[in-house]
């Protein structure tokens, strides 16, 4: 397989042409809110362990 053939396959895969596009059950607000909650939790844990005594 050539480099251009591989690149063309990856482009069509990234566009979602082979898998039907976006999944209907994934909500961007739910994913973003979960990611924000996870990052804030990690920040809180980090600051708890980083106290100067």
Residue-by-residue pLDDT tens, the chain, 53 positions:
677 878 777 777 766 654 555 667 788 899 999 999 999 999 999 999 887 65
CA distance 8 to 14: 10
Measured CA angle at 21 (ends 15, 25), to 5 deg:
140
| Cα Rg of the chain (Å, integer) | 20
pLDDT of residue 27: 85
pLDDT of residue 1: 62
CA distance 10 to 16: 10
- Domain boundaries of the chain, sorted by first residue: 27-53
């Amino acid at each position: 397989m050539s480099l251009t053939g591989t690149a063309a396959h990856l482009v069509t895969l990234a566009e979602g042409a082979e898998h039907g596009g976006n999944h209907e059950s994934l909500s961007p607000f739910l994913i973003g809110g979960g990611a924000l909650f996870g990052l804030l939790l990690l920040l809180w844990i980090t600051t708890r362990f980083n106290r100067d005594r």
